[in-house]
């Protein structure tokens, strides 16, 4: 690894609070909730009948793909493809045609948490059981393989450095950014198209409903259901969407005069090993703190330099534990704790896409000098009460914002942390 810097030059998003970056940012600023009642879930006898799902996406998709092209893409792949094309153009890059040469200097890492359960449940299982395998068609495999989104994007953009998918539960999107940073630092790519995507499906969400980790008491008021850091938090709201970032070698970006949103100064990924209290569904606190330490060390940043935290913060029992882990990792008392907020309070939990969507929010905050509110936490959890003054509950202008840390944690006791710093030319 060399010391070359990695910067963010393009952003693209499809989310419950906006299907492009401009709409997404305005929703962040205004604290707009994106969680809605989903009639299908009630029909299927789910206890949780709400979710955060991109709205009116079909209209957006029509701008990019014909009906025939769209028909062979799952929602997860379509989300990622639209977000990637937006990010590519946002970076000031030209969309290539089918006859353009391969871009050997650019690759894609686009992960997903669970993959396309919808196609498996609605098409593959019924057709196999009905002995109609020969009628499934020749495009079925590309629709269900976890690398379907990265493969589609690499084909649209002619990418030759890499086309792969990672999958680490709710840490997926954040980990994809880290892996891309390592790729660029190693000199194996000049540019990477990275992020995560997750489609909306009751088949994906059913297991979480069965685990009783989704909120059951807010079906009649969905906009108030996602409550990170709240005393009345009742579980995470399932969500869907995609977030794509264009990461670029700093010198390459400068040479072409690219607009730079922020620098990815430090990254770290680890696993708690499901020891010392860690399990398939709970974190080893030592692993969490080591991950935060590792990202800060990689960035060359002191704990006192962190201005703000974009938390994982899912509205579960883990929220107070997470805040305490941040405090212990940074070695600070509540009065010196950085400001903290949660994108999930508006979007719900987009699973494999969450870390990427939240990284886009972080880049926008640094570039434009603001912090978005965490909504629905007017009743701070008693174990978080000492940090109450540090919870951002209304839009805040913050032009002096210089350093923002973002972490994600997931099933399997997996952790990833990124340190973003403001680009100061």
Q: Give the residue numbers marked as catalytic.
A: 170, 312, 349
Asked if 64 and 133 touch (Cβ cutoff 8 Å), the reply is no
HSE (side-chain half, CA atoms, 13 Å) at 238: 29
Q: How is residue 1 written in tokens?
A: 């690894």
Cross-strand pairs, 196: 111, 243
Q: For residue 409, what are the contacts with CB-CB under 8 A and spacing of at least 6?
A: 170, 171, 283, 288, 312, 318, 322, 415, 416
Q: b vs e for 194-222, b when ≥16 Cβ sit within 10 Å of the residue's Cβ?
A: bbbbbbbbbbbbbebbeeebbbeebbeeb
What are the angstrom distances between the C-alpha of 259 and each of 29, 73, 152, 400? 22, 31, 26, 19
Nearest to 403 by CA among 357, 365, 373, 358: 365
d(CA 233, CA 146): 32
Compute the distance between CA of residue 274 and CA of residue 125 in angstroms, rounded to an integer.
33
Q: Residue 243's Cα: distance from chain center in Å?
A: 6
φ/ψ of 117, rounded to 5, equals -70, -25
Q: How many CB atoms lie within 10 A of CB 104?
A: 12
Nearest to 191 by CA among 178, 180, 202, 200: 180
Handedness of CA 24, 114, 91, 256 (dihedral sign): positive
35 and 16 in contact (C-beta within 8 Å)?
yes
Instruction: Please provide the distance, in angstroms rounded to a whole number, between the alpha carbons at the two ends of the chain.
Output: 24
Whole-angstrom distance, CA of residue 2 vs CA of residue 300: 14
d(CA 423, CA 425): 6
């Amino acid at each position: 690894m060399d010391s070359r810097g990695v910067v963010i030059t393009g952003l693209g998003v499809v989310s419950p609070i906006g299907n492009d970056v401009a709409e997404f940012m305005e929703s962040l600023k205004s604290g707009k909730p994106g969680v809605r009642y989903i009639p299908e879930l009630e029909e299927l006898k789910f206890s949780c009948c709400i979710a955060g799902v991109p709205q009116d996406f079909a209209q957006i998709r029509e701008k990019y793909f014909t009906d025939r092209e769209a028909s062979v893409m799952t929602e997860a792949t379509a989300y990622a493809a639209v977000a990637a094309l937006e990010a590519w153009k946002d970076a000031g890059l030209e969309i290539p045609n089918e006859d353009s040469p391969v871009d050997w200097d650019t690759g894609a890492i686009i992960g997903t948490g669970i993959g396309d359960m919808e196609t498996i449940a609605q098409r593959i299982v019924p057709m196999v059981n009905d002995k109609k395998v020969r009628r499934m068609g020749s495009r079925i495999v590309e629709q269900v393989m976890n690398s379907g989104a990265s493969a589609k994007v690499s084909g649209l953009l002619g990418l030759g450095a890499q086309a792969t998918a990672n999958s680490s539960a709710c840490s997926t999107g954040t980990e994809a950014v880290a892996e891309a940073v390592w790729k660029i630092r190693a000199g194996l790519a000049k540019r990477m198209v990275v992020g995560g995507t997750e489609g909306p499906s009751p088949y994906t969400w059913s297991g979480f409903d069965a685990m009783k980790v989704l909120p059951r008491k807010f079906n009649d008021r969905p906009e108030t259901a996602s409550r990170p850091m709240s005393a009345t938090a009742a579980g995470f709201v399932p969500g869907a969407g995609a977030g794509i970032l264009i990461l670029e070698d700093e010198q390459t970006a400068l040479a072409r005069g690219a607009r730079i949103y922020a620098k990815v100064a430090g990254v770290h990924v680890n696993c708690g090993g499901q020891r010392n209290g860690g399990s398939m569904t709970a974190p080893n606190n030592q692993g969490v703190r080591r991950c935060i330490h590792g990202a800060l060390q990689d960035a060359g940043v002191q704990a006192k330099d962190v201005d703000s935290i974009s938390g994982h913060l899912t509205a579960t029992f883990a929220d107070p534990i997470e805040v305490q882990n941040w405090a212990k990792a940074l070695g600070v008392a509540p009065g010196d704790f950085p400001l903290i907020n949660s994108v999930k309070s508006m979007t719900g939990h987009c699973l494999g896409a969450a870390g990427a969507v939240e990284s886009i929010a972080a880049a926008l905050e640094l570039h434009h000098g603001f912090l978005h509110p965490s909504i629905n936490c007017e009743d701070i959890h008693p174990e978080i009460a000492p940090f109450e003054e540090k919870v951002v509950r209304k839009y805040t202008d913050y032009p002096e914002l210089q350093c923002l840390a973002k972490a994600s944690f997931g099933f399997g006791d997996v952790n990833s942390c990124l340190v973003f710093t403001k680009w100061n030319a």
